Each structure stands twice: as C-alpha cells, then as structure tokens.
Amino acid sequence: MRHLLAALVALALLIPVPAFAGPVQDLLQAHGSAIIKSSRKTIQPTIDAMAASGLPEVQLILQKWQAREIWQRKEDGQFFIGEEVEKRVYRLTDFDTGERVGDYPKKELKQVKPNSGVQAMIGTALVQFQLTDPDPSLRAAALDSIQRDPAPELLPPLRASIESETDPTLKAQKDRLNTLLTISYGADDAERIVAIDSMAGDLGVDVRATLNPLLDTTRKIADGDTPGTENVAKVLVPGTDLTETEAYDLIVAAWLAPARIEPDDIRNALAAHIDGGTVGSIPVATLSDPAKRVLAYDALAANGTVPPRVTPADQQAALAQFTIYDAYLEPSQQVTDAAQDALTDIELNVSLYQTLDLSLDALSLASIYFLAAIGLAITFGVMGVINMAHGEFIMMGAYTGYVIQQIIPDYTLSIIVAIPVAFLVTFGAGVAMERLVIRWLYHRPLETLLATFGISIALQQIAKNIFGTQARPLTSPAWLDGAWVMNDVVSISYIRIAIFCLAMIFLAVFLFIMNRTRLGLETRAVTQNPRMAGSMGINPDKVNMLTFGLGSGIAGIAGVAIGLYAKVTSELGSDYIVQSFMTVVVGGVGNIWGTLLGAGMIGFLQKGIEWMNPSNTLAAQTYMIIFIIIFIQFRPRGIIALKGRAAGD
Amino acid sequence: MSRSFFLKNPSVLVFIACLALFTLGATILSDGFGVGLISTSFIKTLGKTLCLCLVAIAMDLVWGYAGILSLGHMAFFGLGGYMIGMWLMYERTRLIITESMSNAAIPPTDQEVVDAIGTQIFGVVGSSDFPTIWLFSASLPMQLALVVLVPGLLALIFGWLAFRSRVTGVYLSILTQAMTLALALYLFQNDSGLRGNNGLSGLQNLPGLDAVPQSTLSVWFLWASALALGLGYVLIAWVVSGKFGSVIRGIRDDEARVRFLGYSVEGYKLFVFVLTAIIAGIAGALYYPQAGIINPAEMAPIASIYLAVWVAIGGRGRIYGAVIGAALVSLVSTWFTSGQVPSINLGVYTVNWVDWWQVVLGLSFVLVTLYAPKGIGGLFDLISGRTPPNRHGKDLGPDAGSLQEQEAEQ
C-alpha cells in the first residue's frame, strides 16, 4: 500500500502543472501574500475584494478559508482545497475546475491558517451569501446568527437580501431584524427614530434588548453645571436621589475631593501613632469613647501627622461645587427620547400581559389546590370526617404512578393505566381505613383527627422505607412537555393546562355523582340524618364506606396529576394537607362551589403576594395563612355558608 | 387553703415525691455530682424529658380539661427557646468578641463591639445588622420577660381572634396547625432576623460559666427542669381543682350549656390558652439550653402533633397521665431512633427499628385512640378501683365528657 502510494505521489509530481489557471486561482494569487499572512487589521480589503469579485465560487472559497481547508502547494505557490485522506497525506482539489489534482504529503504543502479574529470577519462576509442561499434553513440560520451577534457591517447585506426573499416568514423576520439593526446602527438619527417609533408597543424580548442599551448611562461628575456636550439623562440631587454621603463618596472616587475619615480610619490612625500610652496627649485606655477618639485624632491632625477630618461644611461645599449626573452613552438626545417613549409604551403593554400571565399562573395553582382538596371536599365537606391522612393518599397515588412507570415504559400508556390503578389503590386504602378505624369514631371528630394523624405518620414512614427519601420522578408524556406560548410574556406549560382540565373534569364528576346518582342521594341522606336514612332502607355503613372510598380514590388520581408537576417524595402529601383543609374551610364546608371559590381565592392570593415579593415564596405562604386566619374571623363558615337545616350542628 | 388543696388532691403530693426521688436519684448517679453511673448526655436527655413533661401537662390542661385540641403549643415552646437563645447567643458572642478585641491597640468602642457581634451572629445569613427583634438581647431580665411575653401575647391575639368568632373543635385544631405552619415557614426565611434555617446554636455554653463543666451544668438544668415541672404541676392541679376547673370541664363537655349558664366561655378558654402557652414557653426556655441548638424545623406542625400523641397515650384529663405519656414516649422514641434496639431478622426482610419505629408509633396511637381512650393513666383507675358507673353505650373519652355515645347522638 505504502509503495503504491509513493508511486502515485511520484506520478503526480511528474505531471506538469497546466499553464492555464482559472479566475479563482488568479484572484487568490493576486491576494496571495495577504492570505498567507492574514491579520485582523489588514485582511478586510482582501475579503471585500473577494466578496465583490462576483465569482460563483466566492462562497466556497470563503467557507474553505474559514474552515482552514485551503492549502498552498509549495512547489508553485498555487492554492487548492485540501482534504486529509490519510495521516499526513492530503488530497488537493482545484477551485476552478473542481477536479482532483492529486494526493500530496504534508511537507510539500502549506496550510492557510486564518486566526480566530480573521475567521470571524470571513464569517461576516459569508453572511450575505447565506442570506441569499437557496436553502431556507441556511437563511434562517444566518438570521439567527445575526440576531445573536449583531454588528453594523451586517446591515447592508441584510437589507440587500430582503428584496429577493421568497419565504414570507423569513421575509418578516428579515424586516424585523432590519428594523432592530437600524435602531442600533442606522446611518442617521432620523432613520433610527423612525425605526424606534415603528417598534413602540412591541412585546418581543429582542426589541427590549435592542432599546435598553440605547438608554445605558454612566455616572459622571462635572465641576459646576453639566456640560452642554453631554446627553444628560438625569441630574442627581444629593439628599433626594442619593444620600449626601454617597454623593460625596462619588466625588471622592473621581479624585475631586479628599476622602472622608471613617471611624475605622480614625482607629487605625490612632493605633499607628500611639506614643507611650497616649495618642495626641489623650490616654489610650480612655479611647473606647468615640468622642475622645475624635479629640485625639484632631490633635494628631493639628500636628500634621494625619490628614484633617472632612467636616460637614467641607462636604456641603464639595456637593455645592460639583454636579453629579447620569449621561447617556448614546449622544443623540432625539434617539434617547424616542427610545424612552417606545420603552414606556412597551412597559405598559408588558405589564398588561404580565397581569394576564400572573392570572394564568394563579389559575393553575388554584386548580392544583382544588385537585388536592376535592377528595377532602367529599370526606370532610360532605361526610364531616377529618382525614389527616388525606395527604398521604395523594402521596400513595403519586407513588402508584411511579411504580406503574417502572413497569410500563411508555409514558402515555403508563399514565392512562396509572389513573385507574391509583384510584383503585387509594379507594381500597380508604375503604380499609373507614372499616377499621373511622367508623368507630363517627361521633368523636377530635379523635378521628388524632387517629388519622397516627395513620398519616405510619404511612409516610412506610413510604420512606420502601422508596427512600430521595425524590422519585414521575415523567409526563412528551406531548405534555413544552408550553403554550402566546407571546414573549405570556406562556403556560401544557401540564398546567392538563391539570386545569383535570380539575374541571373532577368538578363535573363530583357534581354528577352527588346530584344525579343513587350513591350521591344516599350519601346526602346518610349525612343529614343516618337514622332516617336507615329506616328508608339505606344501609348507612355501606354508603359511608363507599363515599369515603370515593373521596380517597379521587385523592389518588390527584396524586398522579400532582406527581407529574412536582417531585414525588414521602412528604408530598403533607405539603398540601394544610392548604387543602384551608381550601375547604375557607370555601365553606359541605359545598363544592365553595371549595372551588376557596381554591381560587387561595391560589390568586398566593400568586398575588408572591408577585409583590417575588424573592420570597416562604413569606408568601406565611402571609397567606395569616390572611386566612383573619378571613375566618369575618366569615367563620367560609365563603359559601350552608344555611338552615343543612348547616347541621 | 393549701392544706386543704393537698388533702383533696393526694396525687399531687405523690407526684412531687416521685419527682423529688427521681431528681435525687439522677443526681446521685450523675457524672457531675455523684458516682458517675449516668453519662452527661443521658442526664441532658432526662432534663429535656422533664421539660417535655412540662409542656405536656400544659397540653393536658388545654386539651384534656378545656377540650381545645391545640396543634400550636410546640410553637410556643419553640418561641420560648428562641427568646432565651437570643440572649445566650448574644452574650456568649459578646464575651468572645470582647476577649479577642482586648488585644487591640486601641480599646474598642461600644458600637464596634456590637457591630462585631452582629457580623459574628448574622454572617451566616449574609447580614451584619441587628434586626429590631434583637433589641433587648443584651439584657437577660428583658429576654426572660420575653420568654413569657412573646408566647403569651401570640396566644392572646390568636386565641382572642379564634374564640370570639366561635371557631371550635376540629376547625380550631386546623387553624392552630396553620398558625404553627405559618410561624415555622416565617422563621425559615433568612430575613426573619433569627438566622433562618440555621437557627440559634451553641446554646449549651452558658456565658460567663465556661469554667463549669457540662457534667455539672447538666445537673443544674435537671434541677431547674424538675423544679419547673413540680411548680407547673402544682399550678395546673390547683387551677383544675376548684370552681375554675369545673367550669373549664363544663366547657369541654358542652360549651353551649356553660354559655347559657352565664359564664364567659371565651374568657375562660382564652385564659387557659394563654396560661398554657406561657408554660410551654418556659418549658422551651429550659429545654433548648440543654439541647444546644434550635431551628425552625423544631416548630413544624408535626412536633405539636407528637405532643398530642404523648398526652393521648399517657391519658388525657389527668395531669400525671400527660407526664407519663411524654416521658415514656419521648424516652422510648429516643431509644428506638438512636439505633440501640437490635434489628429483627425476619428472613426475607430485616426490621430496622430506626426506620420502623415511626410506623409502630403511628399505629399504636391509632390503637390507643380506638381501644384505650383513657391512655396509660387509665391503668391507675384499675388500681384505685375507681370505675365509671355502668352506663349504656361506649365511652366517648374525656373530650366529649360525661356523655356516652348513645347520649351524644341525641
């Protein structure tokens, strides 16, 4: 093989170089030395000349050059496309003919190596070709790269490419990018202001990203009034816009005034000048008194050993002498004014949409609370049983979903299977609990609360023993990933929409069961008067058991839904239990519409408080609970209070 | 008067005698004062258990006697701990800072000392300024007053709001649980001013008593806790023995009837609620210097639920029952969760008690609620031969009072 190769190389060397060189080779030769010794500062004319040459191969040359795939043959100084075919052997291709020239060992060639700065410049030159490339995906990629990395020199090729664009989406994108680039790099102010005005009220993040840098300011200090040459954003008044100390420190930082002497400076200066137990003729032992320290320091300053303290009068004089102001980096005032107006417009629009976004968030939180509380609305609201293990039923549902996903790997199918299985598991657990514990405690609500607490503690620990303390994932199917995006401000993930739909379905199911089925009728009868219901031929034991199982089963389904949205841990249920009870109590016990309103109120309230103090969701929960405690003062029976005989007790 | 009180309630004397004997025995066996059979850490556990007994008898008063199932008393307990912890932490840091600053060339000003303390204490939450709530932390008497005042005031405000709107029964329980959750969540924040989830630490070192070894300190705290428990016991026994006790038992059994008889039910409930909150605060102030650290997790709702568990297992409506329940369950819990109990090998599965103790506790709680509403204390009735009159239906336990099941249904 090696012999064969050597023979080939020898053969290739024997073939004389054709005297005729194509136009590309001529062009490359014309700029040969510049190409070989390229540098950021000198290469631009060469790149421009190539781009302007109008040859059909220009794009290819630039691409190969950027990719460092151009090689020069040492023998005659001609340029070719090189491609490594074997270690240290390169196959050269002619630019003009596209024919293979032959394989050469590396030592006979010289690689053209543009540095990264030059590569970037070639990339810019390439953009205009990509912008008119026949492949739409390449054009879109070029637009993306311009958006990521805007530069003034990209504006002319972009403008030139708009006319010939055929794809309407890409054309709109190019128009928008043209406007944005004009705002940043437009030739004159009038053109830029027109572009800015055309973007007023637009919600895109890119518009704000373009406009905000125009309003960047630097803080400057002028002796006397502000100079007329500056585009002043704001003159800062010490005492109102910033404290006098801050203002003075700014002047100090600009080397225009002597630094203030801080208590720390005084202490260090005093420590440095202790002279036989005294400083400035004041005994060191008494220097724990700040006033004495000042006296000692002033004595030192009088001797000239330390700089004198800056008196308040000095500070005032400095503040009066200098003007502190923020100046725009952008010199033109019309442009900054227009940008300011446009941004104000945009902010107004954005805050409107943010309100909408916040409402959607609140709605989705409300539906999660509603989901967590709806099972409780049956067991607590209708039957009057306090089930503190309700949260653990939610957890059981979520873990059931997790286990099903371990068995059935297909996410869509596993969720479809998990929902009825979770219902059955928690239905069974609920029925068992009702039979074993709760039915003995129907007239002792406090004891029910305690006994179910015991069950809740035990269930939580069992879950911890089986599944461990780390969070288990319950993965949603791919079609639930992603979000419904309305614009750059408003978006909501599909999973939240799904949870909202599920909450609405549950509401319908609840209403149907309670108002339209025999079980609902019997449940209401047993709850109101078990003896009368019994004498009408209803078996109260059976009805109680089924109703409790139903409420628990719904908690299980809610668990699957909540598990998709939050991580599944053994504490999943206890995170929701207090809020769930609050939802039922605030809404009004015994009324599903009340529970709905309660969930809505708590959801919106929590999001509202979070919006006021976004950094602190813990505080939001605290304030929400305090609000609920106060709310119960005014409506002790909840938003919708049952009246008359149905109110019971 | 006190003569007749002790004559009427011989169990108080018995209890005081038992407590004194226990304290004496523990002292003799301790490392610091006696033969050293009991380790210092176990003396601390015993001291802490006495504090838990104190908060348990407070819980018994508010739940077993007045029928208010409060799920917030461990929050008051924690608040008491925080109040004393603030002083302990401030004073100890001040001593350390003064010590280290005394070597400086220039004696420090007061402000410099305070700033250095602030940096030391709040550096962990990225701050150095003292929040307003630390205003009195330099003064022991003020912080001791706050141990009583802060839980008392919180209980007063919360109780007044809750009782005046006639929130009763399970609703009140859920509301107190919400209050506890809100408080714990609030304290978890770093800008709550109490060092967020780091809590206060190093509380076992009493400022100015560095020379005293922990073995001696632990016995001192045991004595203080025993004294507090004894006094608390007598106080609560006295409160429930007279006419006041009859009224609050009446409220427990049928609130509406007591109201119709002309008593201010809200006033009585509020008094009991605030009094027990204060006792809980004092218990906490004694507990946390022995525990050495307090953080918001200690105040989570589950702690208050365990308190209810102790009282229920011990026996509601009898003060010694609460003491027995708290002491037994907390000591057994410590034993089981410390990993000293050998695991049971079932062949297919090894029962590790650290993991399974909570399950056993939860289930035994269910069983006690179902089958022994009088708890362990009910065993004393067998000894004294005090059996309830044979009436129809099931006993409803102390909180539905004298009513039997079939009567309550009417």
How large is the angle between the packed helices B169-188 and A617-634, nearest 10 degrees? Answer: 150
CB B73 within 8 A of CB B293: no
Question: Which one of B165, B169, B370 has the shortest CB-CB distance to A636?
Answer: B165
Query: Domain segments of chain B: what residues?
Result: 2-341+351-403
Mean pLDDT of the region B142-167: 91
| DSSP code per residue over A555-621 | HHHHHHHHHHHS-B-TTHHHHHHHHHHHHHHHH-TT-HHHHHHHHHHHHHHHHHHHHHSTT-HHHHH
3-state SS class at A282? strand
Instruction: Name the phi and psi angles at A110, rounded to 5.
Output: -135, 125
Confidence of residue B61 (pLDDT cuts 50, 70, 90): very high
In this structure, chain B runs to a length of 410
Distance between B380 CA and the closest CA of chain A, angstroms: 22
Question: Which one of A437, A449, A621 has the shortest CB-CB distance to B170?
Answer: A449
B301 touching chain A per CB within 8 A: yes
- How far apart CA B123 and CA B120 sit, in angstroms, is 6
Instruction: Name the phi and psi angles at B107, rounded to 5.
Output: -60, 140
Confidence of residue A523 (pLDDT cuts 50, 70, 90): confident
B317 touching chain A per CB within 8 A: no
Residue that the structure tokens 């629009």 belong to:
A349
How does strand A70-73 pair with strand A483-485?
Answer: unpaired
Interchain proximity A450–B369, CB inside 8 Å: yes
How does strand A217-223 pair with strand A100-105?
Answer: unpaired
B255 touching chain A per CB within 8 A: no
Whether the pLDDT of residue B139 is over 50: the answer is yes
Name every residue whose Cβ is closer than 8 Å to that of residue A646 and which is 6 or more positions away in sequence.
A528, A590
Residue that the structure tokens 């090894």 belong to:
B350
CA distances from B34 to A11, A287, B47 (A): 106, 49, 16
B403 touching chain A per CB within 8 A: no
The neighbour count for residue A320, using CB atoms within 10 Å, is: 9
Per-residue pLDDT tens for A593-633? 888 999 999 889 888 888 887 667 777 778 888 888 888 77
- How far apart CA A67 and CA A78 sit, in angstroms, is 18
User: Among B158, B167, B267, which residue's Cα sits nearest to residue A632?
Assistant: B167
Mean pLDDT of the region A298-318: 83
Q: What is the identity of the amino acid at A238?
A: P
User: What is the predicted pLDDT for the residue at B395?
Assistant: 57
Give the angle subtended at the CA of A205 by the CAs of A203 and A208, to the nearest 5°.
85
Distance between A355 CA and the closest CA of chain B, angstroms: 27
Interchain proximity B358–A287, CB inside 8 Å: no
Confidence of residue A404 (pLDDT cuts 50, 70, 90): very high
The DSSP bridge partners found for residue B274 are none
Mean pLDDT for all residues in chain B: 86
DSSP classification of residue A93: E
Whether the pLDDT of residue A1 is over 60: the answer is no
What tokens appear for A30 in the block? 């014309």
| DSSP code per residue over A573-592 | HHHHHHHHHHHHHHH-TT-H
| Per-residue H/E/C for A15-28 | CCCCCCCCHHHHHH
3-state SS class at A643? coil
Sort out which chain A residues have CB atoms less than 8 A from B400's CB and list them: 443-444
Instruction: Show which of residues 39-98 on chain B sit within 8 Å of chain A, judged by CB atoms.
Output: 69
Whether the pLDDT of residue B386 is over 70: the answer is no
- How far apart CA B64 and CA B252 sit, in angstroms, is 8
Per-residue pLDDT tens for A15-64? 444 445 678 788 888 787 778 777 777 787 887 777 777 777 777 788 88
Per-residue pLDDT tens for B217-241? 899 999 999 999 999 999 999 999 8
First-to-last CA distance in chain B? 41
A629 touching chain B per CB within 8 A: yes
Give the angle subtended at the CA of B340 by the CAs of B337 and B346, to the nearest 5°.
90
Interchain proximity A465–B171, CB inside 8 Å: no
Instruction: Show which of residues 138-197 on chain B sit within 8 Å of chain A, judged by CB atoms.
Output: 158, 161-162, 164-167, 169-171, 173-175, 177-179, 181-183, 185-186, 188-189, 191
Distance between B208 CA and the closest CA of chain A, angstroms: 22
B363 touching chain A per CB within 8 A: yes
Per-residue pLDDT tens for A429-462? 999 999 999 888 887 777 888 889 889 989 999 9
The DSSP bridge partners found for residue A70 are A81
CB A106 within 8 A of CB A95: no
CB A554 within 8 A of CB A452: no
User: What is the predicted pLDDT for the residue at A2?
Assistant: 58
Interchain proximity A267–B106, CB inside 8 Å: yes
Exposure string over A165-199, b if 16+ CB within 10 A, otherwise e: beeeebeebbebbbbbbbbbebeeeeebbebbeeb
- Mutation target among B114, B305, B357, B369 for the A interface, most CBs of A within 10 A: B369
Mean pLDDT of the region A177-192: 82
Q: Which fold has domain A351-647?
A: ABC transporter involved in vitamin B12 uptake, BtuC (1.10.3470)
CB A602 within 8 A of CB A584: no
pTM of the model: 0.78
Residue that the structure tokens 């006190």 belong to:
B2
Exposure string over B320-330, b if 16+ CB within 10 A, otherwise e: bbbbbbbbebb
Question: Which one of B108, B170, B361 has the shortest CB-CB distance to A457?
Answer: B361
Instruction: Between B233 and A188, name the one with better pLDDT.
Output: B233
Instruction: Name the phi and psi angles at A485, rounded to 5.
Output: -105, 120
Sign of CA dihedral A330, A332, A333, A339: negative
Residue that the structure tokens 């008194």 belong to:
A289
Note the ipTM here: 0.82
Q: What is the distance of C-alpha A210 from the center of its chain?
A: 19
Q: How many CA atoms, within 13 angstroms, populate the side-chain half-sphere of residue A126? A: 20
Out of A149-163, A271-285, A563-577, the most confident range is A563-577
Per-residue pLDDT tens for A422-431? 999 999 999 9
Distance between B302 CA and the closest CA of chain A, angstroms: 9
| DSSP code per residue over B172-226 | HHHHHHHHHHHHHHHHHSGGGSS-GGG-EE-TTS-TT-TTS-HHHHHHHHHHHHH
B400 touching chain A per CB within 8 A: yes
Distance between B219 CA and the closest CA of chain A, angstroms: 34
The neighbour count for residue B163, using CB atoms within 10 Å, is: 19
* In chain A, % of residues over pLDDT 70: 95
Whether the pLDDT of residue B399 is over 60: the answer is no
3-state SS class at A309? coil
- How far apart CA A394 and CA A555 sit, in angstroms, is 5
Instruction: Between A525 and B385, name the one with better pLDDT.
Output: A525
Residue that the structure tokens 């928690």 belong to:
A426
Query: Domain segments of chain A: what residues?
Result: 2-119, 132-214, 217-333, 351-647
Name every residue whose Cβ is closer than 8 Å to that of residue A424 and which is 6 or more positions away in sequence.
A553
User: What is the predicted pLDDT for the residue at A53?
Assistant: 75
* Furthest CA-CA distance within chain B: 85
User: What is the predicted pLDDT for the residue at B408?
Assistant: 53
